[in-house]
Amino acid sequence: MKIEQMHEDRQQFIQGVRDCLPTLLGYIGIGAAFGIVGASSNVSLLEIALLSLLVYAGSAQFIICALFVVHTPISVIVATTFIVNLRHFLMGLAIAPAFSQYSMKQNVLLGTLLTDETFGVATSKLTKQTKLNASWMHGLNITAYLCWLLSSLSGAMLGQWIEEPTVFGLDFALPAMFVALLIIQLQQQAAGKLMHLLAVVGYTIIFMVVFSFVVPSHLAVLLSTMSAATIGVLTKR
């Protein structure tokens, strides 16, 4: 029975690897862009590797490099990274019921490597079933994790030979990713919710302009984000 279970877990892990393959192009593109931008920002190869291993969040890693270049205080970098990555908390809450049959340790391991892409693959699978296999999720997560690390390091090594990544538009990788995510989210909303989300976007822009006149830009980003998010929650119906 134990041998059969091991065989089943192995098959599920392999299937998770296969299900991750269609998403790897995105990891490769954004990961390489991060490595190049990181290298051009005077972030060392070791630091790029550690960011990809420990932070493992594309948007946050780009932001860290941008803030590092302008000598932003560490406390602000940590706070900004925390806010940007808060969505992982919500994704973890959303997917947790699918793994309720597993131990806390198993769930922590699954949640640690959860990303936007693996969450998307998992939720797509949940449209056909109510529970997910932990081995399958490990295969999905680990494949994405290793691809992101290798892509970041490859980009970092390539970036040592590229003095101006802006020439290739790589500095726009982060804004482009956020714009794409925003468009996808807006397309999936009903008319009423769509107007609410657009209003929140408008609030964010207004707050950003106002706060920019009274506080440094990095603080303006934090304040405008928190203010708009608070209004969004209070006005949500």
Domain ranges of the chain: 2-171, 189-237
Q: What integer pLDDT is reported at residue 171 of this predicted model?
A: 57
Q: What integer pLDDT is reported at residue 219 of this predicted model?
A: 73
Question: In angstroms, rounded to a whole number, what is the distance separating the alpha carbons of residues 131 and 163?
Answer: 49
Whether the pTM exceeds 0.85: the reply is no
Answer whether 56's CB lies under 8 Å from 148's CB: yes
> Model confidence over 114-126: pLDDT tens digits?
998 888 888 888 8
Answer whether 33's CB lies under 8 Å from 141's CB: no
Q: DSSP characters for 28-74?
A: HHHHHHHHHHHHHTT--HHHHHHIIIII--HHHHHHHHHHHHTT--H
Q: 26 by DSSP, 3-state: which?
A: helix
Q: What integer pLDDT is reported at residue 167 of this predicted model?
A: 65
Question: In angstroms, rounded to a whole number, what is the distance separating the alpha carbons of residues 73 and 115?
Answer: 27
Q: What integer pLDDT is reported at residue 174 of this predicted model?
A: 55
Low-confidence ranges of the chain (pLDDT < 50): none
Q: 43 by DSSP, 3-state: which?
A: coil
